[in-house]
Structure 1
Amino acid sequence: MEGSDIEMTLAGYRVALEGCPAWAIANAVRRFLQGKVPHQSKVFCPKPPELREAVDAVMAPVLRQIEDEKRRGRLREEAARFASPVVRTDGEKARAAQLYAEFCRKHAETASAGHISEPERATLDPEKLAMIPDAPTTFERLAWISRGGQHG
């Protein structure tokens, strides 16, 4: 090859591999030399875009892992923001207990009248309300956010 052709070829590879880490380039070249790159030519060297494709394929699992870790970090941050946004007052808890007891009473009446199918006839226990955690629902969190983090 003429000197200018070699320089142009090298420049093409530099542009194609711009921003790629050396380990990924070395692994992709190794895969080419071992004949492990799908659809590679056994006669000609890979063109710059073909080599870049092979490098991207080598980097793909690492990039996925990095993105997964970023996503997990965002989820941890979001969970920390909602750790305890709403504190229910004793009055709110008493009102919820009253509503649940009323629901249980009506459910029992409807069940005894035969208006509920067999799987739904399970007896509801008002005492189970005490077992419900005080964690706010998604809707309560959204309401809390819309109020600017204020109770009300």
Structure 2
Amino acid sequence: MVGRSGMTAPFWKQKTLEQMTRDEWESLCDGCAKCCLLKLEDEDTGEIAYTKLHCRLLDGQACACMDYENRKKIVEDCVILTPQNVAEIKWMPRTCAYRLVLEGKDLPDWHYLVCGDRNRVHTTGNSIRGRTVSEDTVFDEDPEDWIVDWEGNEP
């Protein structure tokens, strides 16, 4: 698709999530790692609360899974995003590219597919880098003690 400027529109504006190649799909992830945070759901209201605790497989400094290919085998309740389930996952952050593309919205200026800088998600404070702890390091406290308001990222 060619826009008014004569430039070809980027793939995420031309294709649905289902039409994307595996590489295109994977490239949508901005590396914020917010999907790897432990989240709590209020049983009565269904409201989702984010915590400062991340999955034990997440490298909190790199904002990357330490065993991406085997994550579901190791962490049974890991949710693997697919074009088919993104719409049903209530806890995806508002800034998540998968959610934004599904909703027909633009990617944020700090997304590396827009700005070309993979580190920008971190330097702009849009990732969890250095602001969380592994779920395995917390033993005596309840997860509720770790609830945090990740500015602008509640579902």
Measured against the shorter chain, the TM-score band is under 0.3
TM-score, normalization: structure 1? 0.21
The two structures have a TM-score, normalised by structure 2, of 0.20
* Structure having the higher Rg: 1
More strand by share: 2
Q: Which has the higher contact order (CA 8 A, sep 6+)?
A: 2
